[in-house]
């Protein structure tokens, strides 16, 4: 009868003191911060690598010189660094972070480890939107030419999340209903895109196929800026909801009984996810793997306290996509392979090496 | 319950009618008053509406109920205020998530707060950490503090769920089958803890039980539900009669008294 009376005389020797528990928890928090710092450092290295590799390989010294004193270098070098390399490298980081965060929030609010912008139809909807512009020439009025495809993709992607939200609010709907509906959306939009491909002219077909492969080469500064601004707007709300989301992970009914307004938390998360992921996929096309696996990597490395899990998912996503961008340049010299193709190839070994490790927090 | 309680003291629910779709699950149930400082049992066969009644009292299902705590109406309060006073512990165990037990308790305390992301200092969480540690110690599981929830047994997770609920320090606890996954020792130990806490802090504790012997000997008041209606309520020995057991639980049973005055239900067969 000792187990429940640790203050009694026959206290089991394995029971730690409260001070020890506090110290262990402090150490865990510090360890998580250092893991986040390592991920951040790895992203910086990867971005540098992304810069210095490639057809017109510049040395790091030349690179830094070009970044710091752009007016003193030849125009060709300046354009390569400032108009091509830098936006690509930053776009990889921003898109990876956006998809990582979106996947993490989706997996939490839908209580499903397979949820992500890709598996629930956001990417497929974006592809359908792009196909409307590329094949049928349908697009939103008033947009400049370079934004037509992204504009369509964005509208369709947002629309698909809106449909998920509507289904989630139907009577008798459960989270599994939403996930199933999302998977149905994937197939529906894929079928519609196939139909577009079937009807497309040869040129349009080529454009469409290339778009769906997912590529960073469509990056421009305004797009990077818009995505970063959206992130700056949305991410604080995600982080602020961290405790509610952590509680939600322990069960919907439990969260509600602890005072979490579950429908409101869900709806807020879905709104954030729709804005971030729709913008990301509309700029780069279908890059599937990141949003699915970055949360799993973060969960394994950091646990599911959303104060760390959410930023961890962003960093893991950014790192995978940045490494993919590097690989896309390196695989075939002189050719930049569409990033969407490379992502899974790069991500899977990374994913397996972390997820198959021994479990445990300390 | 030494001094005579005022008639309003405790938790009362009147006119609780709940329907899921077209199906009426609770029909004009009146329950309570569940008195501060006591431990009360909510009994009834599977599907009789025990969980539903608890959810209705906690304000988690839409119902026409009028619920008062010490005379104050709970129905009009916001969910946050209401759950801070009257906490429902669901029947399902906490999910096996990859989260240390200590943090699961901290999160349960901080749900309504804005999180400070990326803060290595635990200063903002100090009071939550303190009450989490107290609660783990109360249930004798401080050694689980740094273990992940997904590495615990079902019974251990149930203890963590209980610790979560008590660390919030509400006035009223509605515990839905809190002993379902526990071994014999822990069933009695948890009942002991709940009785002590209830007396010490004048809590209202209502719990769903299936073990009638625990209800007979370790609770002060029982309410029996059958098919969505309240069929009896009062002191356990007065309520749990052979007639009621046959009527509600469909068993032929006797209530016997041991030499030490403890009562137990002896079942002869199913009715
Ligand atoms: N979410 C629900 N939707 C529809 N019916 C429900 C739901 N929850 C419970 N019920 C029904 O309500 C009745 C009472 O359920 P419950 O309160 O969980 O019973 P108990 O806890 O006493 O076993 C049961 O017949 C059950 O089928
Ligand atoms: Mg029940």
Tell me, yes or no, if A299 comes closer than 8 A to chain B by beta carbon. yes
Q: Is pLDDT at A209 greater than 80 in this prediction?
A: yes
> What does the pLDDT read at residue B123?
57
CA distances from B15 to A205, B28, B32, B44, B222 (A): 66, 4, 12, 19, 19
Give the mean model confidence (pLDDT) for residues A329-340.
80
In B, minimum Cα distance to A360 occurs at B148
Whether residue B85 is contained in a domain is answered as yes
Residue range(s) defining the domain that contains residue B17: 11-240
Residue with tokens 């209705």: B56
Low-confidence spans in chain B with pLDDT less than 70:
1-7, 112-124
Residue to mutate among A256, A258, A307, with most B CBs inside 10 A, is: A258
Could you tell me the domains of chain A?
74-355 (1.10.3470.10)
Q: Is pLDDT at A96 greater than 90 in this prediction?
A: yes
ipTM: 0.88
Q: What is the mean pLDDT of chain A?
A: 85
CA–centroid distance, residue B18 to ligand 1 (Å): 10
Whether residue B264 is contained in a domain is answered as no
Q: Is pLDDT at A60 greater than 60 in this prediction?
A: yes
Tell me, yes or no, if B59 comes closer than 8 A to chain A by beta carbon. no
Q: Give the CB-side neighbour count of residue A241, counting CA atoms within 13 A.
A: 25
Task: With beta carbons under 8 A apart, name residues in chain B contacting A299.
Answer: 98
Domains held by chain B: number: 1
Residue to mutate among B107, B132, B133, with most A CBs inside 10 A, is: B107
Whether residue B1 is contained in a domain is answered as no
> What does the pLDDT read at residue B119?
53
Q: How many beta-carbon contacts under 8 Å exist across A and B?
A: 161
Nearest residue, CB atoms, B90 vs list A21, A249, A253: A253
> What does the pLDDT read at residue A143?
77
Whether residue B269 is contained in a domain is answered as no
Whether residue B51 is contained in a domain is answered as yes
> What does the pLDDT read at residue A55?
56
Taking the C-alpha atoms of residue B52 and residue B60, their distance in angstroms, rounded to an integer, is 9
Who contacts B128 (Cβ-Cβ below 8 Å, separation ≥6)? B105, B106, B109, B110, B167
Whether residue B271 is contained in a domain is answered as no
Q: Of B148, B152, B197, B153, give the one whose Cα is nearest residue B175.
A: B197
Nearest residue, CB atoms, B97 vs list A250, A259, A260: A250
Taking the C-alpha atoms of residue A292 and residue A118, their distance in angstroms, rounded to an integer, is 8
Comparing A62 with B252, which gets the higher pLDDT?
B252
What is Dmax (Cα atoms) for chain B? 62
Whether residue B262 is contained in a domain is answered as no
CB of residue B86 inside a 6 A radius of ligand 1: no
The neighbourhood of ligand 2, an ion, using CB within 5 A, equals B 51, 91
Please answer yes or no on whether A244 and B111 come within 8 Å at the CB atom.
yes
Q: What is the CATH number of the domain that holds B208?
A: 3.40.50.300
> What does the pLDDT read at residue A214?
83
Measured in degrees and rounded to the nearest 5, phi and psi for residue B258 equal -75, 175
User: For residue B96, what are its two tokens?
Assistant: 């096996």
Three-class SS string for B42-57?
A: EECCCCCCHHHHHHHH
In B, minimum Cα distance to A172 occurs at B21
Ligand 1: which residue has its CA nearest to atom 16?
Answer: B49
CA–centroid distance, residue B11 to ligand 1 (Å): 22
Ligand 1: which residue has its CA nearest to atom 6?
Answer: B20
Q: Is pLDDT at A10 greater than 60 in this prediction?
A: no
Nearest residue, CB atoms, A311 vs list B79, B117, B120: B117
Tell me, yes or no, if A140 comes closer than 8 A to chain B by beta carbon. no
Ligand 1: which residue has its CA nearest to atom 3?
Answer: B20
- Give the tens place of pLDDT for each residue, A258-314: 989 998 999 999 899 988 988 898 888 888 789 989 999 999 899 999 999 999 999
Nearest residue, CB atoms, A254 vs list B90, B112, B140: B90
Taking the C-alpha atoms of residue B31 and residue B34, their distance in angstroms, rounded to an integer, is 8
Task: With beta carbons under 8 A apart, name residues in chain A contacting B146.
Answer: 21, 24-25, 28, 361-362
Taking the C-alpha atoms of residue B197 and residue B37, their distance in angstroms, rounded to an integer, is 8
Q: Which of residues 14-53 of B touch A (CB under 8 A)?
A: none
Whether residue B60 is contained in a domain is answered as yes
> What does the pLDDT read at residue B76?
81
- Give the tens place of pLDDT for each residue, A32-51: 999 999 999 999 999 888 87
> What does the pLDDT read at residue B81?
83
> What does the pLDDT read at residue A9?
40
């Amino acid at each position: 009868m000792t187990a429940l009376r640790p203050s009694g005389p026959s206290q089991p020797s394995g029971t730690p003191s409260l001070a020890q528990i506090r110290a262990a928890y402090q150490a865990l928090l510090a360890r998580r911060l250092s893991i986040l710092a390592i991920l951040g450092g790895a992203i910086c290295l990867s971005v540098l690598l992304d810069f210095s590799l490639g057809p017109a390989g510049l040395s790091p010294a030349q690179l830094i010189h070009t970044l710091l004193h752009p007016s003193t270098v030849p125009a060709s070098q300046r354009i390569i660094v400032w108009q091509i390399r830098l936006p690509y490298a930053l776009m990889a980081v921003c898109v990876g972070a956006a998809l990582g965060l979106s996947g993490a929030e989706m997996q939490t609010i839908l209580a499903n480890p397979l949820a992500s912008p890709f598996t629930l139809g956001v990417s497929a909807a974006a592809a359908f939107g792009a196909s409307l512009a590329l094949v049928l020439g349908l697009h939103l009025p008033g947009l400049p030419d370079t934004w037509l495809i992204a504009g369509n993709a964005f509208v369709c992607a947002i629309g698909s999340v809106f449909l998920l939200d509507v289904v989630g609010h139907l009577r008798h709907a459960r989270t599994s209903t939403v996930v199933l509906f999302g998977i149905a959306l994937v197939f529906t939009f894929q079928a519609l895109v196939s139909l577009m491909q079937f009807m497309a002219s040869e040129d349009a077909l080529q454009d469409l196929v290339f778009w769906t492969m997912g590529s960073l080469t469509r990056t421009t500064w305004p797009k990077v800026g818009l995505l970063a601004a959206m992130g700056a707007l949305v991410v604080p709300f995600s982080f602020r909801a961290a405790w509610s989301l952590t509680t939600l992970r322990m069960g919907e009914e439990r969260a509600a009984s602890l005072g979490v307004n579950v429908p409101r938390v869900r709806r807020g998360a879905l709104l954030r996810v729709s804005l971030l992921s729709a913008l990301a996929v509309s700029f780069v096309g279908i890059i599937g793997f990141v949003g699915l696996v970055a949360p799993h990597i973060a969960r394994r490395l950091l646990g599911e306290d959303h104060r760390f899990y959410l930023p961890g998912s962003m960093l893991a996503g950014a790192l995978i996509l940045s490494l993919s961008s590097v690989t896309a340049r390196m695989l075939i010299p002189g050719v930049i392979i569409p990033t969407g193709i490379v992502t899974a190839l790069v991500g899977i070994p990374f994913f397996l090496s972390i997820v198959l490790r021994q479990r445990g927090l300390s | 319950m030494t001094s005579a309680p005022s008639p309003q003291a405790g938790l009362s629910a009147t006119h609780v009618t709940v329907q899921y779709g077209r199906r009426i699950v609770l029909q004009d149930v009146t329950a309570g008053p569940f008195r501060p400082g006591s431990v009360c049992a909510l009994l009834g066969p599977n599907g009789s509406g025990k969980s539903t009644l608890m959810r209705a009292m906690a304000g988690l299902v839409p119902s026409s109920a009028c619920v008062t705590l010490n005379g104050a109406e709970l129905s009009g309060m916001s969910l946050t205020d209401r759950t801070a006073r009257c906490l429902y512990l669901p029947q399902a165990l906490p999910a096996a998530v990859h989260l240390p037990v200590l943090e699961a308790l901290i999160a349960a305390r901080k749900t309504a707060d804005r999180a400070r992301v990326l803060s290595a200092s635990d200063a903002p969480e100090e009071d939550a950490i303190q009450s989490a540690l107290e609660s783990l110690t109360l249930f004798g599981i401080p050694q689980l503090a740094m273990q992940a929830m997904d590495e615990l047994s079902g019974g251990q997770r149930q203890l963590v769920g209980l610790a979560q609920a008590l660390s919030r320090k509400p006035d009223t606890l509605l515990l839905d089958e809190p002993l379902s996954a526990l071994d014999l020792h822990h069933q009695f130990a948890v009942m002991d803890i709940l009785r002590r806490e209830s007396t010490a802090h004048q809590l209202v504790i209502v719990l769903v039980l299936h073990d009638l012997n625990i209800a007979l000997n370790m609770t002060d008041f029982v309410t029996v539900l059958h098919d969505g209606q309240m069929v009896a309520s009062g002191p356990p020995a007065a309520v749990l009669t052979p007639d009621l057991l046959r009527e509600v639980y469909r068993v032929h049973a006797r209530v016997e008294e041991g030499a030490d005055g403890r009562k137990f239900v002896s079942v002869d067969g199913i009715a």
